[in-house]
Amino acid sequence: MATNEQIVNNFIDAWGRLNAEELAGFFTEDAVYHNIPMRPAIGIASVRKVLGAMMRDMTGVKFEVRYQAAAGNIVMNERIDHITNKDGKKISLPVAGVFELENGKIKAWRDYFDMAMFNSAAAA
């Protein structure tokens, strides 16, 4: 069985395929996904919907994990999310992520980032 850290690493790698259905498969039915500057997505259907909406504006994404630590059911990482939007604009956003896992699935995912920095980069 994969460790919690391996599960998060597999999830991060899967982002490059931009497949919301595949990514939703990493979550528990009652999962919570919260980009802290926005409202949380609660439940797998809501998580799937939010992921799909995000991906409609992307043509590429890569998470560059700088540091990662795991203890028990928690995996935390500091990373740079490199996003290419549908207009071909590239955005690199510093993010701190916290993942809570349960029985091999992500039960909660919280990403902390500066929304003003994201909006500024997207508008530039």
d(CA 63, CA 113) in angstroms, rounded, equals 14
Query: Of residues 13, 30, 57, 81, which has the active-site annotation?
Result: 81
Cα–Cα nearest to 60, from 80, 33, 90, 35: 90
> 78 in helix, strand or coil?
strand
Q: Determine whether 81 is an active site residue.
A: yes
Task: Determine the 3-state secondary structure of 62 from DSSP.
Answer: strand
DSSP state of 105: E
Which of these, 3, 1, 9, lies nearest to 77 by C-alpha position? 9
Catalytic residue among 30, 57, 87, 111: 111
Q: Which amino acid is at 93?
A: L
Positions annotated as catalytic residues are: 81, 111
